[in-house]
Amino acid sequence: MPEVQTLLAFLVASALITAAPGPDNLMVLSQSLSRGRSAGLGLAVGCALGCLTHTLWATLGVSALVASSPALFTTLKLAGAAYLLWLGVGALSSRGPRRIDGAAPRPPEPWTRYLRRGFVANAINPKVALFFLAFMPQFVDPGAGGASLQMAVLGAVFVVQTIVIFGLFALAAARLGALLSRRPGVGRWLDRFTGLVFVGLAARLALDSSH
C-alpha cells in the first residue's frame, strides 16, 4: 500500500490535473448544459471509470506497448476521434432535449447511456493511456513491493476524485443549462454547442501529431 504522504500528494496532483481545462471536463460541461444533470453525471462517472482501464493497461504493460507502436497508437487515436465525431454529429442533428412547441416533452435518455459514452471515449483514448503510464509510476515505491497493488490503489483514488470533481462540474453546468433552457429555442442551440465541442475534440485528437 502507498504511504499516507504519497496518497495525499497523489490526490492533490490528481485533483489539479482533473480540474484543469481538458477534453473530458469539457465534454462533461457541454453535455450537462445541453442535457441536464443526469446526463452530465452519467458522463462524469463514465469518464472516471474509463481511467480504471488505463490503470490496468499501465500495470500490465499494455500502455508501454501502445507507446512503442506508432501504428497501434494511430489506430486507437483515429478510433477515438471517430467515436467523438459520431457523438458530435448526433448532437448537431438533435431536435433538442425538450419540445418547445407546447407538446409534451420527450423522455430523457437513460443516464447509463451517457455513462457508456464517457467510458468508451476515455478508455480508447491513447493520450490518456500514455498520461497514466507517465504519471502514476512517479508515486509507486518499487522498494516497498506490491507495485501492482500500489497502482490499483492509486487508480482507485484517481477515479474517486474524478467522480467528485466532474460531478460538481456537471451539477453546476446542469443548473445553468436549466436556467437557459427556459428561453425558447435555447435548448436546441445548447445541443448545437455540444455537437461542436465533440467535433472539435475529434479534430484535435485526430490531427494531434505528438506521440
Task: Give residue limits of the domains in the chain.
Answer: 4-8+24-207
The three grid cell numbers given for residue 160, joined into one nine-digit string: 474517486
**Given a cut of 70, is residue 7 above it in pLDDT?**
yes
d(CA 151, CA 187): 42
Query: pTM score, two decimals?
Result: 0.74
Most confident of 50-54, 71-75, 132-136, 199-203: 50-54
Q: State the average pLDDT over residues 79-100.
A: 69
**Given a cut of 80, is residue 60 above it in pLDDT?**
no
